[in-house]
Chains A and B, each alone.
Chain A
Amino acid sequence: MAEFLQLLISGLAVGMVYALIALGFVVVWKSSSVANLALGQLVLFSSWFTYGMLVQANFPLWLGFPVVILFALLLGWIIERFALRPLIAQPILSLITVTLGVAYFVEGIVTFIWPWSVDALPRLFPIEPFHLGAAVVSQEYVWVAGISLIMFVLLTLFFRYHKMGIAMRATADDQLAVQACGIPVTRIFSRSWMFACVVAAVGGILISSIGGISYGLVETGLKAFSVVILGGLDSFVGAVVAGPIIGLCENLGGGYLTPFLWAGVKDIIPFIIIIIVMLIKPYGLFGEVRIERI
């Protein structure tokens, strides 16, 4: 039972971070129908950048985080402006592969600047474990889950009440109508990329504060795809619901299946979920089923 509780809490926490990263994908997909396959590399890059700020440049936390957020905003703007903007209205194949090119490029930058490939962020959260009945739960997970929850609330408020959030939802709904209302659609695209980079950065910081920074962060970003697929590509609710489900499957499966299967089964569970969802319900739990016409 104690083990179950531990796995439950860590699974929920990690799943919420996946959901956070997945939200970045969904926003870009909804506003500009670009599939951002560079998610993993963005998570990797921003985690290393945080490392650079907090450890190498020795900034205090209150200064380091705003710098990281600013950097993420800039990164999103650059990617949209120079890689995606020239390809507006191109076939989906080009749009997907251009993000792959960006992914490759970002990975090159990361190995260029931080060639040692594994390191740890300084402790962001207190480490004393606390007891929940018989279970010993590391406090980090609770902090991570809490911060993710706060982010969700903030994002919901943003999309519901802020002018830009409403404009982004409108763009997702109908680009032509939005353009007719005088909202610059290209600016919305740009904002959605900036938004995606920021949530990737926050997700990256949260994940790497627990597990350290390594190349595995790319896989973390890719696991966010399983969240997107399970929840439905174009659904915010889907991402928020599917994230914890994936995290739970991953952690509980990793905890209980490893004795029967090979070690490391945990890392592969999200990808197996992708295949299963594809075969059974390809548009996910909350995704809109596209009806095609010739």
Chain B
Amino acid sequence: MSPAVFQLASISAKFNYWIYIILMMIGLFAMIAKNNLIKKLIGMTIFQTAIILFYVSIGVKEGATIPIIEYETLKEYNSQKTGYGAKPDIEPQDYDNPLPHVLMLTAIVVGVSTLGLALAIAQRVFDQFGSLEEDEILEELTHPKPAKEPANG
């Protein structure tokens, strides 16, 4: 690893990447190491949110505004009645990069869908094994308790 990573100037100019990495590692650790299935899913959400944070921070421009074209610019453009091919007077530096926002809208939706399905599967696991703790489930698998009827058939 290059020592440049740990220089203060580098850290302060890129602190957003540090934060996303820390968040992501918290999520990854929870997904792998936690015993409770719901805690794993909480880790999964943190993990995905960290990636969203990373993407959105790619698109930030210093001093720029949201990517919706200003009303004044458009009024001027519409009043000009110029021919085909004319463009409104837009300086791209004034607006944030729209693409990461679009991509992350998709990623958010995917994350929510995955979480919903994972919760449903966790419910089924609870119905079948009577527990959400991974070690207890494995115990139940190897030495099933005879008396307990699973709630969902």
Q: Do A and B bind each other?
A: no
User: A interface vs B, CB < 8 Å?
Assistant: none
